Chain A
Amino acid sequence: MRTNRLKGSLSLGAAVILTLLSASWGQNTPGQQEKWMGTESHIGNLTGHASAAKTDYRRYCTGCHGDLGDGQGENAPWLDPKPRDFTIAQFKCRSTPTGTLPTDEDLYNTIARGLDNSNMPPWNTFTKQQRADLVAYVKHFSAKWQSEKSGTPIQVPPQPEVTADRIQAGQALFKRLECWKCHGVEGRGNGPSADTLTDDLNRPIKPFNFHDGTRFKCGTSNADLYKIFMTGLDGTPMPSFADNVKPEEAWDLVLYLRTLQPMNTKEKQIAKQLGLKPIDPNAPAPAAAPQQ
């Protein structure tokens, strides 16, 4: 009887301490994360459960992302870029505005697609249910998912027809928005500010070289490219342009950027016919800037 009572008061004490811990901000403790094991994800009709992903996470993810989801797995010291720290809840590939949480679908797509130019492979061997469960597991690591909702995804209007006018307007934007300051006048990732760029961990980071690859970090489609510069890649120097680029203009920029890439596209053929030259940052802007 007495021991029972002692046990009771001990567990009460533990409960009080746990509550106190969870009341203080930004302190993710293993106990707290365990508490959030009930976290769910919703992707279309799928519902993911964090508790169902325990085994998969420990088997496939812990090596890099760590048991606590803090990006400090045993492989982490040898990786560049560093594995994502899920306790911060900050993600590059989002359909949501800069400074907001991504949608469950964004995380789901990242797991399925992997991240180009990093050690994160595409996990397309998992079933859809497994991936949805892992999304919930990724979320259970941070207090942010308990207190905040995902941002509202930006709308990507249907892609307009590829025309010479649009490609030229896109090039004018590339100059006006000063994309070239980092990405270079030819989009080779060698602009005047390229050498000094650092990510949030203060590690050097390179701007994307459009001539190098056919794929982007956050996807391969035109809509993915649209989302990258409109929402920005949080945690990197790449800002969001959504405040100052209209949807129409954003498509112009997408079409122009495709002319810089190595694959043979309709955009590239048109650029060739136009004899499109790289921008000259020192040339004065045309008197009447093409406004679409």
Chain B
Amino acid sequence: MKAGHKIAVMSSALLVLAVGFLYPGKNVSAASEGKITGTIKLDGTAPRQRPIDMSKEPSCAKIHESNPVHMENVVAGANGALQNVVVYVSEGLTGNEASAVSSETPTWDQKGCQYIPHVMALNPNQHFKVTNSDQTSHNIHPMPKQGGPNHEWNKSQPTGAPPFDIFWTNEEIAVPVKCNIHPWMHGYMAVVKGPNAVSDASGSFTINLPPGSYTVTAWQEELGTQTQKVTVGAGKPATADFTFKAK
């Protein structure tokens, strides 16, 4: 009887402790102090990006008359700063990062017969808007991995048509998107869990995260993926720079 009493006391004490541990955890995540910043670079000569001939679509060709556009498979700027690289947490998410995940509804625009942005990072079930700013019809045709959990779809969006709202249900890195009418139009939607970022023209990115240990992965459409382990402390941003070797 006495022993049973002891066990009951101990287990309730443990329970109180456990609850006590859980609650501060939540408070920390709400504050979401930490962040990872970094720069992504290309080591070597950037492959030549072929110019795009839009003469078949005069309304778009006209927009780029003075500034011809190029393919965007590898976009490298000054000092090899690599743009359009998706950075996300591949290991170490605890589920407490909700406050650090963007709650925005990003826009996937078709402008000048190009996808703006060329690469977009989303969470599963995060809604995004598809808009057509052009004087021509487009068909938006994302092609997820065949046999995977996401469904391929293909919608026409004529000029002047209202934006539509849509989302992906499952993680996938990354869903290629194309327009069959304008075959040069090409982009990617990376569906990843948790906080994420896409590197900008200077190759830099920032991910807000609660303190903890994480594995961070950088994905580039032609050059593949790279990972590294990062420990995020409170208050001070952790750094994670990535270098991709040119093929």
Contact = CB atoms under 8 A, between A and B. Distances in A.
Contacts, number: 87
B183 A193 contact: yes
A177 B158 contact: yes
A241 B146 CA distance: 23
Interface stretch (B99-107, B147-155, B209-217, B227-235): B147-155
A234 B154 contact: yes
Given A25-B149, A237-B141, A243 B180 contact: no
A181 B181 contact: yes
A3 to B, nearest CB: 40
A178 interface: yes
B161 interface: yes
Interface stretch (A41-49, A83-91, A208-216): A83-91
A185 interface: no
B153 A99 contact: yes
A176 interface: yes
Given A181-B181, A193-B181, A237-B141, A26 B147 contact: yes
A239 B161 contact: no
B164 to A, nearest CB: 6
A26 B158 contact: no
A115 interface: no
B39 interface: no
B157 A240 contact: no
B55 to A, nearest CB: 10
Interface in B151-186: 151-158, 161, 164, 170, 180-183
A8 interface: no
A63 B229 CA distance: 50
Given A181-B181, A197-B180, A244-B161, A26 B148 contact: yes
Contacts of B139: 237, 239
Contact of A192 (B56, B146, B155): B56
Nearest to B144: A99
B158 A239 contact: no
B183 A232 contact: no
A28 interface: yes
Given A192-B56, A239-B139, A244 B154 contact: no
B202 interface: no
A178 B137 CA distance: 6
Interface residues of B, number: 27
B145 interface: yes
A237 B156 CA distance: 10
Contacts of B148: 25-26
Nearest to A237: B180
Contact of A240 (B151, B154, B161, B170): B154
B90 interface: no
A182 interface: yes
B147 A88 contact: yes
Given A177-B137, A177-B158, A90 B152 contact: yes
B158 A176 contact: yes
B160 to A, nearest CB: 9
B66 to A, nearest CB: 23
Contacts of B98: none
B164 A237 contact: no
Interface of A: 25-26, 28, 85, 87-88, 90, 98-100, 142, 176-178, 181-182, 192-193, 196-198, 200, 232, 234-241, 243-244
Given A28-B147, A177-B156, A196-B183, 19 more contacts: A26-B147, A26-B149, A87-B147, A88-B147, A99-B151, A99-B153, A177-B158, A193-B56, A197-B180, A200-B146, A232-B154, A232-B155, A234-B153, A234-B154, A235-B152, A237-B180, A239-B154, A240-B155, A243-B155
Interface of B: 56, 136-137, 139-141, 143, 145-149, 151-158, 161, 164, 170, 180-183
Return the 9 tightest CB-CB contacts between A and B, nearest first: A99-B153, A237-B180, A178-B137, A239-B139, A239-B156, A99-B151, A239-B154, A196-B183, A98-B153
